[in-house]
Amino acid sequence: MINLGDELNKAYNGDTWHGGNVLSLIQAANPQKVFTHPIPNAHSIAELVLHLTAWTEEVIDRIAGQTAKEPSRGDWPLPIEKTAEEWHRLVADFKLVNEKLIEMIDDFESSGWLNEVKDERNRELGTGVNNAQLINGLIQHHAYHAGQIALLLKF
């Protein structure tokens, strides 16, 4: 079986096949620009980081056996303030939750990967899947939004 912790670590902070990992892209962002919306009706880099953090926290809860739901922060939380200090806090939070999840995956019982996440299938919430599919989905989610961040960095 694929080592899901290793795969998440690649998407988060490793050598990805598709381009820059999400953390390297986030760390390349100018704190003066992360709250701007250079593309009309698109999310800012800061909003994308908050969204990624919120869903990583939700995956942590699901892996821990909690019932699937929308993230406690909300799907698209907004930054509290638009300062460099706030940006550094957002990046620190993103790093913390990803490192926590990677550690949880490394400690996860191999017999539990095919266990269903608690809830019926809801595509938008990513429910009704097993634990391995849940982590794989988060890896895909990181890659998808890494591409958006890479595009926004060009502005």
pLDDT tens string 7-26: 999 999 999 888 899 999 99
Task: Report pLDDT for 54.
Answer: 99
Q: What is the rounded end-to-end Cα distance, in angstroms, of the chain?
A: 40
Residue pointed to by tokens 């990677």: 102
pLDDT at position 18: 86
Rounded CA gap, 129 and 35, in Å?
Answer: 34
What is residue 52's predicted lDDT score, i.e. its pLDDT?
A: 99
Separation of CA 46 from chain center: 13
pLDDT tens for each residue of 68-92: 899 999 999 999 999 999 999 999 9
Closest CA to 141 of 42, 37, 25, 22: 22
- Position 121 scores a pLDDT of 67
Q: What is the mean pLDDT of the chain?
A: 94
Q: Single out the residue of 98, 60, 93, 99 nearest to residue 79, CA to CA.
A: 93
Instruction: Say how many CA atoms lie within 13 Å of 75 toward its Cβ.
Output: 7
Residue 138, pLDDT > 90, answer yes
Distance CA 100, CA 106 (A): 10
What are the structural domains of the chain?
A: 4-152 (1.20.120.450)
